[in-house]
Homo-oligomer: A and B are copies of this chain.
Amino acid sequence: MMTSMQHFHFSIQKRLDGKLGRTGVITTPHGTIETPSFVVVGTKATVKGITPEMLKDMGAQVVLANTYHLYFSPGEDIVERAGGFAEMMNWDGPTMTDSGGFQVFSLGEAFGSGVSKIASGEDKPASERGLRAKKFARIDEDGVSFKSQRDGSWHRFTPERSMEIQWKLGADMIFAFDECTSPLAPYEYQKEAMERTHRWAERSLMRHEELDREKKQALFGVVQGGRFQDLREESARVLSAMPFDGFGIGGSFNKEDIGTAVAWVNAILPEEKPRHLLGIGEPIDIFGAVENGVDLFDCVSPTRVARHGRLYTHDGPIQIRNARFREDFRPIEEGCGCYTCQNYTRAYLSHLHRENEMLGKVLGSIHNLFFLIKLFENIRNSIEDGTFSHFRDEFIARYYV
């Protein structure tokens, strides 16, 4: 038991030779996080189908919930009365919430055509490159108004409002309200949005300082700037000068650019503060980002794809519904230490997934989360003992066969 509250702190343990990457330990009021680390996403204050005991058992260190979703249900006031989202979901470890910006802006101008966090081309008409009519989200200098996809009602987030909601949700680490742009938006729009994000960062800091007199919550600023090196560098410089406890690297990337864009930013951000790459979690992206100084990652992929039967192995993902697994009585992966692999066969998982049984989704999610959490443990170990490049090359050569 802690007798007095632990304040937020980050200490670097070991640096990667000639690179920005490092291992470290983040201390929070609810425990420590060894980094680089995978942040498990519990969107609505639940990691779909997974109990907190299962999360502990798989080695999860920190859970992130989404401000946008909890704002709508059950609402931040109810979460506050429950003692915060961690208490509500019975998770006693470190927690984060995002700013709500990503979800709000994905309703609006930026993400009109099914564009997600990563785009691979620019072959879209101008009307879809951040210029089209703002159907569900309207941005102004003060904040953003957006239309609920649940009931058509209009809502409004501002930097101050995001801080107030996140204060009530009560996570250990929270994010400044930022405008998340489409990877397809042109330079002029990216610059305008970035500059607005910087002004919103100042306002987020001011409002948070008023709310959090005892410094219970660490506040991370979010670097934007899209795919443009000068904008990313400018954003990193401007935000570095503000008294944030850490930094998110937000927005969208071209897939092949992630490591590079991260390096632009992390070369400028103060090295003694942790960096979180928002919403990215594919193995190949993780290695590039870790190498270039990212400490935290969150991503819904491991659980989302698991619910659809896509299970990670070191030889790449398998689709467990595939007929070849119907009579395969081996675990998902030989030697895997997860609860699922220790107790169940591919044949049983294939049966559960073919029958759309909940337990198939649960067991698949446990395996995929364990796979990523273990990958980060191995990454940390490889940085500690100087074998990172070797570990990365072997992992990638085998995974992307």
Contact = CB atoms under 8 A, between A and B. Distances in A.
Interface of A: 44-52, 73-74, 78, 81-82, 88-90, 326-327, 329, 343-345, 347-348, 350-352, 354-355, 357-362
A341 to B, nearest CB: 12
B44 A355 contact: yes
Contacts of A52: 343
Given A345-B82, A348-B82, A351-B45, A74 B326 contact: yes
Given A82-B347, A350-B74, A358 B355 contact: no
A244 B329 CA distance: 35
A351 B355 CA distance: 27
B358 A362 contact: yes
B327 A44 contact: no
A93 to B, nearest CB: 15
Contacts of A357: 44, 46, 48
A353 to B, nearest CB: 11
Given A49-B362, A51-B359, A358-B358, A90 B343 contact: yes
A88 B345 CA distance: 8
A78 B46 CA distance: 34
Contact of A359 (B50, B74, B78): B50
A46 B344 CA distance: 12
Count identical subunits in the complex.
Answer: 2
**What 3 pairs across the A-B complex have the smallest Cβ distances?**
A49-B358, A74-B351, A46-B359
B359 A329 contact: no
Contact of A358 (B90, B350, B361): B361
Contacts of A354: 73-74
Nearest to A70: B351
B73 A355 contact: yes
Nearest to A358: B49
A348 B44 contact: no
Point out which of A50, A327, A361 has the most chain B C-beta atoms below 10 A from its C-beta: A327
Given A51-B359, A73-B354, A82-B345, 10 more contacts: A44-B351, A44-B352, A46-B352, A47-B359, A50-B359, A73-B351, A73-B355, A74-B326, A88-B347, A90-B344
Contacts of A359: 46-51
A49 B48 CA distance: 11
A102 B89 CA distance: 40
B362 A78 contact: no
Contacts of A74: 326, 347, 350-351, 354
Given A73-B354, A327-B81, A358-B358, A88 B348 contact: yes
Nearest to A42: B359
Nearest to A307: B358
11 contacts: A44-B355, A46-B360, A48-B358, A48-B359, A49-B362, A51-B359, A74-B351, A81-B327, A82-B348, A358-B358, A358-B361
